C-alpha cells in the first residue's frame, strides 16, 4: 500500500477521535520513509520525535495503550462510550495495515506518544499524539 492510501486509511480511522488524558489530543498521521531496514530502537524513536538522544523511551503494547478507550468503564461519559467502537476500529486498522505495531512514549510532563509499525515496504508509519499524566 502506498503512502497516500495508507494515510487516507489511518486518517479515516482516527477522524473525530481524541486521545483522552489530562489533555485531549488528536491522533495525527505519521510517516517516516526508510532507505534500509533500520532497527526501531530508542535512539531512532527519540530522533523521530524530535527529541535529543538519551530521552527515556517507554514501550507499551497497542491494545494495552488503548484499553480505556476501547473498553471504557460503564460509568464513563457518553462520549467515551460512543467512541469505543471507533477506537476498536482504529486499533484494527493499525493491525491490518502495519506489522510490529508498538506504542513508544517519550517521557516528559506532556508525553509525546508515537504509535508506529512497519509498512510492507519497510517504512515506519502510524500516529503521533500527546498524553498528559500527572
CATH of the domain at 97: 3.40.1460.10
CA–CA dist 51, 132 (Å, integer): 17
Q: In what order do the strands lie in the sheet with 28-32?
A: 28-32, 124-132, 110-118, 99-106, 57-60
pTM score, two decimals? 0.84
Residues 10, 125 contacting (CB under 8 angstroms): yes
Q: How confident is the model at residue 75 (pLDDT cuts 50, 70, 90)?
A: confident
Task: Give, for 92, the enclosing helix (H) or strand (E).
Answer: helix 78-97
Q: Which domain range does residue 39 map to?
A: 3-132
Q: Taking residues 14-33, report their average pLDDT.
A: 90
Report whether pLDDT(36) > 70.
Answer: no
Per-residue pLDDT, averaged over 59-81, amounts to 86
| Total number of domains in the chain | 1
Choose among 52, 67, 49: nearest CA to 128: 49
pLDDT above 70: residue 53: no
Model pLDDT, residue 79: 77
Amino acid at each position: 500500500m502506498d503512502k497516500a492510501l495508507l494515510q487516507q486509511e489511518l486518517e479515516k480511522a482516527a477522524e473525530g477521535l481524541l486521545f483522552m488524558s489530562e489533555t485531549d489530543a488528536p491522533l495525527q498521521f505519521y510517516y517516516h520513509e526508510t532507505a534500509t531496514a533500520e532497527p526501531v530502537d530508542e535512539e531512532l524513536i527519540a530522533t523521530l520525535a524530535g527529541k535529543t538522544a538519551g530521552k527515556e523511551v517507554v514501550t507499551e503494547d497497542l491494545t494495552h495503550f488503548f484499553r480505556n478507550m476501547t473498553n471504557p468503564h460503564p460509568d464513563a461519559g457518553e462520549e467515551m462510550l460512543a467512541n469505543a467502537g471507533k477506537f476498536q476500529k482504529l486499533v484494527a486498522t493499525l493491525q491490518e495495515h502495519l506489522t510490529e505495531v508498538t506504542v513508544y512514549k517519550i517521557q516528559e510532563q506532556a508525553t509525546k506518544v508515537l504509535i508506529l509499525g512497519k509498512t510492507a515496504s519497510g517504512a515506519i508509519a502510524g500516529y503521533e499524539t500527546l498524553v498528559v499524566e500527572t
